[in-house]
Structure 1
Amino acid sequence: MEQDFCEPKNFIERAIDRYPPIVPPNTSTLEAIAAMSNSSSSYVLVGIQHKVLGIFTERDVVKITANKISLEGIPISQVMTRQLITLNIAEANDIFSILALLRSSQIRHLPITDEDEKVVGVITPQSLRAILKPSDLLQMRRVREIMTTEAISVSTEVSVFEVARQMATHRKSCIVICQQATTHSSPSRQKGEETEENLLLERKFKLNTANQPQKPIGIITERDIVKFKAKGLDIAQTPATAVMSSPLVLAQLNFTLWQANQIMQQHSIRRLVVVDERGYLAGIITQSTLLQALDPVEMYSTVQILQQTITETTQELKQEVAQRKQVEEALRDAKKYLKAEVLKRTLELTLANAQLQQALNERIEAEAEVRRLNAFLEQRVQERTAQLQASNQELQQALSNLKSTQEELIQAEKMAALGQLIAGIAHEINTPLGAIRASISNISTALEKSIRQLPQLFEQLDSGDRIQLFALLETVRQNPQDLSFKEERQFKRALKKELEAQGIEDADAIASTLIKIGITQNVELFIHLLHSPNYKLILEAASYWSVQQNNVQNIIMASERASKIVLALKNYARQENFGQMTKAKIAEGIDIALTLYRNQLKQGIEVIKNYQDVPAILCYPEGINQIWTNLIHNAIQAMNGKGKLRIDVSERDNHIVVQFTDSGCGIPPEIKDKIFTPFFTTKPHGEGSGLGLHITHKIIDEHHGKIELESEPGRTTFRVWLPIK
């Protein structure tokens, strides 16, 4: 160390990072973050031809992340730090002036420039620590003397976004992830151990005495946030425990600074988490605090502290001797006092013994009275037990009747809802049937014309033209018509231009026909047919073939639609064994109910589905499906058939959570507490039984779940919680 300080220029030259990451000012911020992450650097310089314009650091990334600022399309020049502190290499005289500049300016990156103000490198606390040789002072001082006790910690339940927000709020370069301990006591000294070390520990832990002690299990730094942003992680949804650095490299309070420095160099890290003897979080020690320990001012302060500690220890020993003399005198006085107290207590005990004997006699008399009362009460209990047994039999019969009535009400409500769906389902089935009938008619007509036309056409074509004709028909079969009006116009213009270039007459009409039969490109394969004198017969035959192909597709789709409706109705109406639960997927049941109500929904209700991947649960599927049917039916009526219905399915707190949110008129606050009451309804007489939501509530109770309601004009949400296990 002395040799380096004797040659300051040589020392500073070795402390400069000669290859700092530099990006031009028009670089996107996301690219700059990726470059920072790839180079494992805590910063990037922004400049042109070695002229430094600004700097962008890990702390800037944390601030941007905590404030939820979108970085898409934003150049680095808009978010970099422009008020940059630099140092000319000619002015860099010694290590202490650089340390003072870093500390006074509260920066961790010092660009070094030459006489032309071009950057030649960067000095950081890390680069300084890498070349410093520990002195004897590092082995004399302890971690507890220079560590930062104001360490910010968070629990294991927080997300990476919350970690970034805490970093930005408290201007910290790292956050410690901790588990809460089971005791509320803070570090304390043992009896008789009032040493300078324990007094110092108490002062160090003042920050945490109001909080529960915490055991660190991981750490997230600014560099980690940079890596997460570079990888495109969703930090709001990513828990801190999933990406934290773990297991931790820890330092004890009694470690020397030399040990701490060796650990940092061995593991290539910039900070250590400090714990006490029980493993609780005590603070943080960083490379910057190690450098401060090498500051001459700090060295001088350390010597003063050592001297002061010796002086205070001597004074404490003198005070302890004086205190022991006072204790001996107090003991002598206490012996005299105790003799008098013993005599006084003896007299009091004699009197108390007489009073106790009197109380014992009174208790014997009281116990005899209690026995007489017990005999009387036992007789009354036997009489009351007989009465209760008779009442219990009556209640069991009433309960059985009530369950039977409840099952009948549930079935009646379900059949009533099914009756409301019949008209819509009939319409839904008639629609694909009509499409099938129309398609069959079109196929029959086109097939009849093709049968009459093809023999005549084949007689007029040679073998080569016939092969091209079959190729044309195969292309039509493989390219069903599914183009928008805009796409048809674009393809037609391109085809017309190509046909005209090939010398085809009536190119506009031919291009229209080709588009209709699905030929949008590679028309050069059929140019020979289009030059044929029979091209009109050829295109007409291809058109009939296209009509048949399109109508076959319509029949297939209509058949699938009718099949889905019948399957949904079958699943809804089937009888399940309510005595035994089965596994069922929640999303499938909701889709069945939506299929049954499709006719009402398509009249003017937009359905927005947000289904997360959730596990199947053990339940009564018939009852669960009736919940979704009742809630969808109520939403349709609340919106008068016009609006938006959003359905969310997610997993939360070991439950499946299903939300139905409609844009209807809402539920007035004065009737919110009544809507689950049996026979309560706001509908006109004859339009509602008032049992739908009551039965829904009962079915959810049977599944040990719960239902919540939030409503205001224009937005009503029913939230159903069903346990996964």
Structure 2
Amino acid sequence: MSQACSLPAAPTFLTCLLDTLTEGALGIDGQHLITYANRAACCLLGYPAQALCGASLHSLLQPRRADGSAYPPEQSPFAWLERGGAFCFIEDVFWQANGQALDVEITANPLRPGEPGAGAVVIFRDIAERKSNQAALLKAFQDLDTLNERLEQAHGQLLQNEKLASVGQLAAGMAHEINNPIGFVSSNLGSLDKHIQALLRLIEHYEVLERDGALAAPQLESLALLKRSIDYDYLREDVQDLLQESRQGVERVRRIVKSLKDFSREGVEYQWGEIDLHHCLESTLDVLAREFDGRCELHREYGDIPPVFCLASEINQVFMSVLLNAAQSIQTQGRITVRTTLEGERVVISIEDSGCGIAPEVLPNIFDPFFTTRPVGQGSGLGLSVAYGTVQRHGGDIEVLSTPGAGTRVRILLPLRGGAAHLQGGKP
């Protein structure tokens, strides 16, 4: 332990008392030259007492700030001593003998003029641990704020999911309700077609009588006037077109309702089974038809694939998330290609778009929960995350290849019996 240097004629008792302090104690004269250093000061600063005594406090301990920039003496808190003032608990930095910065809390009090070594007594303590704890506490608070924000987002998303679940139940119920009127409208159109055909045959018979002169002149003139007033020739042609278009419209509504019911899989959410993935794809494409309309040219390249043992409602949701992202990546006009192939014991569903692509620095994060590149309120960041988890649960994988400005290809790989392994509690 380095011995403390003493003020001239300093009482032995005072010196011993100062050496018992855990804080560093320095005596300085009117020119801020160090006249005394206790044992704690020597230990904290790494200097022997002989090196400290007689040295300029500023030149030795405060030549620069913590960031390495020059530290003018007039900007140091010790400048207050020149005006006879004291200061307490000022946080600053002293530089140790090894060149390391020491965070300190300083208190300085001027001595009465006429006392030996008159100047000031400086007490300082090492606050590095305290600052480290404060920084850790601040980071903990920041992490807590971040966690609270994420919890808020998660809560909002859960509420949104609950709303969507309600909408899904409502849609499934509406599908059942719509099926009934669509059924009798379709049946009525069939009957109406038969009736109109019969009436047209009757009218044709009257036309034959008209041509053969079987009707009197007044009746013929009346019929001709009526035909002209109702535009008979146009009605006779148009009624067939109207019936055909109506049948097509009803069939389209029936197919949409069926796709909606197949997509929602009401009542079989947790039923695993052998599923035709082409049927799942078509149901999803029908539900998303509005997203593609006018912007996306859709190409189907379906291969010969066997059924896959899976949970249809969850796989439909995977297709929904990937196809929706593909459609939204196309700003004006583009192409989406859906391709299915069999690779060994796995079915591969490839969904390729000609959209904007994904930046390389973003690509590793696309499956992270709550990660989204869309503006606030336009994306939850859960679609692809849930899709990835679902495919993993089926023993499969998702591969993404993307080139900014050229499009993205997503490959969904599903083992033929991956779901069965999951149900048995094993790994596919």
TM range (shorter): 0.3 to 0.5
Structure 1-normalised TM-score? 0.29
Write 1 or 2 for the structure with the bigger share of strand: 2
Scaled by the length of structure 2, what TM-score is found? Answer: 0.47
More helix by share: 1
